[in-house]
Chains A and B, each alone.
Chain A
Amino acid sequence: MSSHGFNPIRSEEGHDVVAISLRGVVKRFSSVVAVDGLDLDVPVGTCFGLLGPNGAGKSTTMRMLTGQAIADAGSLEVLGFRLPEQSKPARLRMGVCPQESNLDVDLRVRDVLDTFARLYRVPSARRPVAVDQALALARLTDRARDRAVTLSGGMQRRLLIARALIHDPDLVLLDEPTVGLDPQVRQQIWSLILALRERGATVLMSTHYIEEAERLADRVAIMSKGRVVAEGSPAELIAEYAGREVIDVEGSQTQLTDLRSRADAAGILTRPSGPSLTYLHADQDGDRRLPAGRRRVATLEDVFVALTGEYVE
């Protein structure tokens, strides 16, 4: 990705160069606190996953990064620009793919891209090339003359992502890029994002699909109720919060409730998982005498459920 116009920021520790830096960010909607003291640093060149259940405040965070929501408190910096005052120059270097599609569906595919090339100030001589590249990226070259409304859901989503990349941005925001798509289309979007990662773009991607974060993100922040509750690479998070191995114990609802309260009393970490109870850090059980069950490798899902208390769909 090009770096002209990019103003690197040093994080507080002074080593990493960060593309996004949030400190104590709060956003309320009347009585609802959507974002509640959020701290976040997204290093340049990483694919950063914001993983959280519905309602955690991911979309609100994304909208604050584009100046479409104004924080009630805290400080926000994107690509070295202070928000919301300098949001416009920041947006010039950002590409955004929203959670809910806002494609200009009445337009032809090529016109959708051309309109955004203009909005992103791509010089007119370069615009046709930029549009062709975006079409190729979205694999929509042969649909360029069709109205966007005639595309399938997956194609529209690819177009939405290509539209965000039309100006070769330094930072890409993807808000739940695969929500509501069938598994095959999800794979297509994932390869698009992997290609972006390969090119060294800085990506902030929100998702409530654990697998998506695990597969695509270099670093993950787990978000719950408007805050980051844990942050690290997927491997670090698993090691820290779930250990190497876990044990799934099956039983009736009453048995599980009983087991859980006993584990809580003994300070043993567990997490519910539907018809079973999962004991975390089972590799370090030592003399804790965990009940018998199925031993398996810990996953990010164990971490997610343990930290957010949310079941996975």
Chain B
Amino acid sequence: MTSTGVSLRRIEPAGVLAVAAREWTVFCYFWRNQTFAAVVEPIVNLLAFGFGFGALVSKIAGIPYIQFVGTGVVATSVLFSAVFSGMFDSLYKRRYQRIYDALLAAPVDVEEIVTGEVLFLGTRAGIYGIAPLIVAFFFGLTPTPAMLLVPFISILTGIGFAAFGMLFAALASRFDDFNYVISGLITPLFLLAGAFFPLNQLPEWLRVAAQLNPLYHCIELVRHCAFGLQPGADLIHLGALAVFALLAWAAAVWRTRARLID
């Protein structure tokens, strides 16, 4: 054990579980309004775009537009609920409640705090993300066995974005600082992922840029689960999500430690 640098060896399951258990306790108090916001908003998106654009474009690549959006909104729902809870909850806990100070005085290290919170928030966001898919069933989306993989994909995506959110929480001093991140980064990620329109009409450079967007890989995977897996490409998408989650986790641990340990 050393006191600097990011280390997996410092992680004990009991520490991670205790941190996640605290999250669960808090969730049991506030689940109603958290769940309402996380589930209803993507469904509103889905219906608004589905009906609004659906009247103009009936099909994309042979898929009815509302099903195209329904599978895309899984990812954007995960993005928002994971990244925002990572950002806002974490900054609130650090700055205003000083919960992390309390945790660090107990036998818990920064790695365990970040891991426990990211696993909890990511899993929760991933589960919320399934709601739009279920709504899409009512608009003719056919359930397939491969769709059983969707929760795993959305949870992996959620873990990455929760860690991404915690990274920005560690970089921020005040809630206002998030404005830059939301307008400059989260919104472009949201729009440039292929949830609402296919990326293949975009200029070349934007299509290349989209490859770097973890959300794009999530959307591709979810669509392939619904409309046909492409094993070779899907392994690459999965790898991209895993690499993103790992990098975001390591960066979040690194910056959070710099904030918490003098």
Residues of A within 8 A of B (CB): 27, 29, 60, 63, 66-70, 84-89, 91-92, 94, 96, 98, 100, 102-107, 111, 114-116, 118-121
A100 touches B98 (CB 8 A): yes
CB closest chain-A residue, reference B14: A121
Residues of A within 8 A of B15 (CB): 119
Known contacts A68-B104, A88-B107; is A115 also within 8 Å of B18 by CB? yes
Q: Please pick, from A68, A70, A88, A119, the residue contacting B101 in the complex, using a CB distance under 8 A.
A: A68
Residues of B within 8 A of A (CB): 1-4, 10, 14-15, 17-19, 21-22, 25-26, 29, 97-99, 101-109, 260-262
Q: Please pick, from B1, B21, B107, the residue contacting A92 in the complex, using a CB distance under 8 A.
A: B107
Shortest Cβ distance from residue B69 to the other chain A in the assembled complex, whole angstroms? 36
Shortest Cβ distance from residue A76 to the other chain B in the assembled complex, whole angstroms? 12
B99 touches A104 (CB 8 A): yes
Give 13 CB contacts A-B under 8 Å: A66-B104, A70-B261, A85-B2, A91-B105, A96-B106, A98-B102, A102-B97, A104-B97, A115-B25, A118-B22, A119-B15, A120-B106, A121-B14
Known contacts A98-B101, A100-B98, A105-B97; is A69 also within 8 Å of B3 by CB? no
CB closest chain-A residue, reference B30: A106
CB closest chain-B residue, reference A27: B262
Complex Cα spacing A27 to B261, Å: 13
Sample of 8 further A-B pairs with CB below 8 A, known A92-B107, A102-B98: A67-B261, A84-B3, A85-B3, A107-B26, A115-B21, A118-B21, A119-B108, A120-B106
Complex Cα spacing A69 to B22, Å: 24
Shortest Cβ distance from residue A130 to the other chain B in the assembled complex, whole angstroms? 14
Residues of B within 8 A of A68 (CB): 101, 104-105, 260-262
Shortest Cβ distance from residue A128 to the other chain B in the assembled complex, whole angstroms? 15
Residues of B within 8 A of A114 (CB): 25
Complex Cα spacing A92 to B18, Å: 13
Shortest Cβ distance from residue B183 to the other chain A in the assembled complex, whole angstroms? 30
Shortest Cβ distance from residue A65 to the other chain B in the assembled complex, whole angstroms? 9
A115 touches B98 (CB 8 A): no
A104 touches B22 (CB 8 A): yes
Residues of A within 8 A of B1 (CB): 85-86, 88
Residues of A within 8 A of B260 (CB): 68
> Which of A100, A115, A120 has its CB near the most chain B CB atoms (within 10 A)?
A115
Residues of B within 8 A of A107 (CB): 25-26, 29
> Which of A27, A87, A105 has its CB near the most chain B CB atoms (within 10 A)?
A87
CB closest chain-B residue, reference A101: B98
Interchain residue pairs A-B with the least CB separation, the first 3? A102-B98, A96-B105, A69-B262
Q: Please pick, from B10, B29, B105, the residue contacting A106 in the complex, using a CB distance under 8 A.
A: B29
B18 touches A119 (CB 8 A): yes
A121 touches B107 (CB 8 A): yes
Complex Cα spacing A67 to B260, Å: 10
A119 touches B106 (CB 8 A): yes
Shortest Cβ distance from residue B37 to the other chain A in the assembled complex, whole angstroms? 17
B3 touches A67 (CB 8 A): yes
Shortest Cβ distance from residue A172 to the other chain B in the assembled complex, whole angstroms? 12
Complex Cα spacing A119 to B97, Å: 18
Residues of B within 8 A of A111 (CB): 25
Complex Cα spacing A118 to B116, Å: 13
Q: Please pick, from A66, A84, A89, the residue contacting B105 in the complex, using a CB distance under 8 A.
A: A66
Residues of A within 8 A of B103 (CB): 119
Shortest Cβ distance from residue A110 to the other chain B in the assembled complex, whole angstroms? 10
Residues of A within 8 A of B10 (CB): 88
Complex Cα spacing A83 to B65, Å: 60
Residues of B within 8 A of A27 (CB): 262
Known contacts A104-B102, A111-B25; is A88 also within 8 Å of B262 by CB? no
Shortest Cβ distance from residue B100 to the other chain A in the assembled complex, whole angstroms? 8
Residues of A within 8 A of B105 (CB): 66, 68, 91, 94, 96, 98
> Which of B2, B10, B22 has its CB near the most chain A CB atoms (within 10 A)?
B22
Residues of A within 8 A of B102 (CB): 98, 102-104
Complex Cα spacing A94 to B26, Å: 25
CB closest chain-A residue, reference B106: A119
Complex Cα spacing A98 to B106, Å: 12
